Structure 1
Amino acid sequence: MFHDRRLARAAAALYFVTWVTSVLALPLYGGSATDSTAGLASRASVLTASVLEVVLALAVVGTSLLLYPLLRPHGPAAAVGYVALRTLEASVILVGVVAVLPAVARPATTASPGLDPAVGAGLHLLHDWTFIVGPGLVNPVNATVLALLLLRKQLVPRFIPVLGLVGGGMVATMNVAVMFGLTGPIPLLAIPLFAWEICLASALVLRGIRPNSPGKHHSPALTAGVVA
């Protein structure tokens, strides 16, 4: 039990790392992914943002790895799916980092990369798309997978996974609309998904992951009907 609490609290700490790094990195890029007409910021600013996004990607995977042993007894398929989806999200984030770095720097030198402006703009655009696809689309899916497991197995207070389901749907819908040019990003729509992660991290710190009624026995039919 003590080991489980340590894992839960470590996962909560990594959720905090993901919030800090994602919030700090975005403005350092100079409006990337929020304003299609804005150019990249200075070399130092973009490099700092890239380092933060590398830390973000590692923390994203770390949350799923720490939660995996806690979730596996309650839903092995969902636990593996959450790890896979978080890894996919982190991979897309890192693709964006690698894409944007050549636009501002060359390795082992402080000299300008000397790229054609059109090439730099293309790399910038690729980074913007990874922001939409990774945090914008994959993240709501992995949040939904986790929220469904937590809700059906009653592993945390009910309102927390409900926030995840509502927030995931809102963010995914917004980003699909952004993809098709129907709207620009609407930051307010991300608030429920952000609140879901804050509340989940708080629950991990305060009570960990465990059924509300540990002694309650489920019928075989009910157990078979629960989606792992």
Structure 2
Amino acid sequence: MAADTHITPPVGVPIPRPRMHPTRRISLAVGILYVLTFVSIPTLALYKPIKDDAGAFVLGAGSTAALQWGALSEVIVALAGISTAVVLYPVTKRINQTAALGLVAARLLETCLIFVSVVSLLTIVTLRNDVAGTAGTDSASLVTMSHSLVATYNWTFLLSQSLMPVACDLLLGYMLYRSALVPRILPIVALVGAPLLLASDIAVFFGAYSQVSPIAVLAALPVAVFELSLGIWLIIKGFKPTALTTAYADTSQSAAT
């Protein structure tokens, strides 16, 4: 009869939980952050009143909560975006340090541009609440200024949330494809979708069609699919075991000791 090797800890002593693998912690955090970058999708509806007629919005009455909630969601997107690159950096720098730094820089620039775009819309809220309707206010000037601020938002959005993902996904797609940390189909989608989005951004830039046209939406779809699929995969599965993940875990454990 085999001896029972199971040791029961003394009563009152907590059973230690197994520690999560270092790269699993990173992949889980990055996955959650990538999913968070999609929280601003409702802004398409939340910003509709101000985009349809900025003049009527700034001179109108009623709540501005919808616009403010939309602005808050974009701030979350900006912070989640830069966080993905920073949290990934300990792993990506082992693949290609130049590309890893490029990803952080591109995400940082994207975040700064998103903040500029949000400020432009929140400025309209201030004009509506604190300036419109006061004595001596020139309504025509307010309308002109509001249209200018909406135009600033639209152009900044093109550069931040449409153009910068091209650079981010090309760099990340290259590193993921080279390292095989995730199924190869994911970085392939990024490497195909990023140039497609770039071509669409150039077309929008020169006025071929608008940012919300069906063509623009279709051009952005592969990049969106890549980022959402990557986030979900990293939450559920994490990185595939490779020599890279093993080396990072060994280094982390050595540093901890």
Query: Structure 2-normalised TM-score?
Result: 0.74
Residue 40 of structure 2 is aligned to residue 14 of structure 1? no
Residue 119 of structure 2 is aligned to residue 93 of structure 1? no
Q: Is the 8 A contact 1:104 1:113 kept in 2?
A: no
Report what 1:146 is aligned to. Answer: 172
Name whichever of 120-129 and 168-177 sits farther off: 168-177
Q: CA deviation at 1:191?
A: 1.5
CA distance in 1, matches of 2:149, 2:176: 39
Paired residue secondary structure (1:177): helix
Report what 2:53 is aligned to. Answer: 39
Report what 1:165 is aligned to. Answer: 191
Residue 86 of structure 2 is aligned to residue 72 of structure 1? no
Report what 2:201 is aligned to. Answer: 175
Offset from partner CA, 1:104-148 (integer Å, 9 cap, x none): 226xxx834336110111011100111101111111111111101
CA distance in 2, matches of 1:104, 1:31: 12
Name whichever of 195-204 and 136-145 sits farther off: 195-204
Q: CA deviation at 1:211?
A: 6.2
Q: Is the 8 A contact 2:176 2:187 kept in 1?
A: yes
Report what 1:118 is aligned to. Answer: 144
Name whichever of 203-212 and 115-124 sits farther off: 203-212
Q: CA deviation at 1:159?
A: 0.7
Residue 89 of structure 2 is aligned to residue 59 of structure 1? no
Task: Give the RMSD, CA atoms, in angstroms.
Answer: 2.3
Q: Is the 8 A contact 2:81 2:111 kept in 1?
A: yes
Offset from partner CA, 1:33-89 (integer Å, 9 cap, x none): xx7xx2246622211111111111111111111111121111111111111111111
Q: Which runs of 5+ in 2 are unaligned?
A: 1-19, 58-62, 133-140, 246-257
Q: CA deviation at 1:153?
A: 2.5
Offset from partner CA, 1:135-173 (integer Å, 9 cap, x none): 111111111111011112222211100100111111121
List, as ranges, runs of 4+ consecutive aligned residues in structure 1 with deviation greater than 3 Å: 209-215
CA distance in 2, matches of 1:199, 1:60: 15
Report what 1:197 is aligned to. Answer: 227
Q: Is the 8 A contact 2:33 2:231 kept in 1?
A: no
Report what 2:163 is aligned to. Answer: 137
Q: Which runs of 5+ in 1 are unaligned?
A: 216-228
Query: Structure 1-normalised TM-score?
Result: 0.82
Q: Percent identity?
A: 31
Q: CA deviation at 1:210?
A: 4.8
Residue type at the aligned position of 1:16: V
CA distance in 2, matches of 1:199, 1:124: 32
- Determine which of 27, 32, 41 is the counterpart of 1:23: 41
Paired residue secondary structure (1:89): helix
The one of the two structures with greater contact order (alpha-carbon pairs below 8 A, sep at least 6) is 2
CA distance in 1, matches of 2:48, 2:206: 23
Larger radius of gyration: 2
Residue type at the aligned position of 2:53: G
Paired residue secondary structure (2:238): coil
Q: Is the 8 A contact 2:94 2:244 kept in 1?
A: no
Residue type at the aligned position of 1:29: Y
Residue type at the aligned position of 1:23: I
Residue type at the aligned position of 2:24: R
Residue type at the aligned position of 1:17: L
